[in-house]
Chains A and B, each alone.
Chain A
């Protein structure tokens, strides 16, 4: 079974502090991992995907197959990073389905 776990429902950090949103997954094949973000009053949108290996808005995420993790990191949090973040998994064996975690609500305190 495919599963995505985000252990933190709520996360608060001060502006300028590092932030890490945790994501662990369970998948028997080669997964595609994503982070989606939903800002207040906006639609859910893709933040980044592991195959791109890029930094978006200062965020990075590395796929660690040994630990089955895909944690989202940013060295210096900004107020505009406050949002709901979802980790998601898909893969060729999922029948085109995406599996989402339960989400982490990030609040950056000024």
Chain B
């Protein structure tokens, strides 16, 4: 089974703090994604990466950055957390070529910014 793990299930931070969300996958997948999930808005793509050190902006990258130093790890960084970044954050991965067309999700990190 594909395992996508996220470093925290729940996180509470204060406005202005720098926040790191970590995601690790163990299936040697090339592509990794960060989404935020909000009621009524569905899943919105923040950033994705198709290779080590490569990144692409998604639909809502403002206020976020990412890092992919190793193939299995994709980090989401909130440079200066704000209350409107309170949300559920989902990490996902998928393979390339013939393995690209199913996304495997992590359990999610519920972030609250006070």
Residues on A lying within 8 angstroms of B by beta carbon are: 6, 9, 32, 34, 36, 43-46, 49, 51, 86, 88, 90, 95-103
Contact = CB atoms under 8 A, between A and B. Distances in A.
A46 B42 CA distance: 15
A102 B102 CA distance: 18
B84 interface: no
B58 A97 contact: yes
B interface, size bucket: 20 to 34
Interface string B16-57: 000000000000000101010000111111001010000010
Nearest to B100: A96
A49 B94 CA distance: 15
Interface of B: 31, 33, 35, 40-45, 48, 50, 56, 58, 90, 92, 94, 96, 100-103, 105-108
B35 to A, nearest CB: 8
Contacts of A100: 35, 42-44
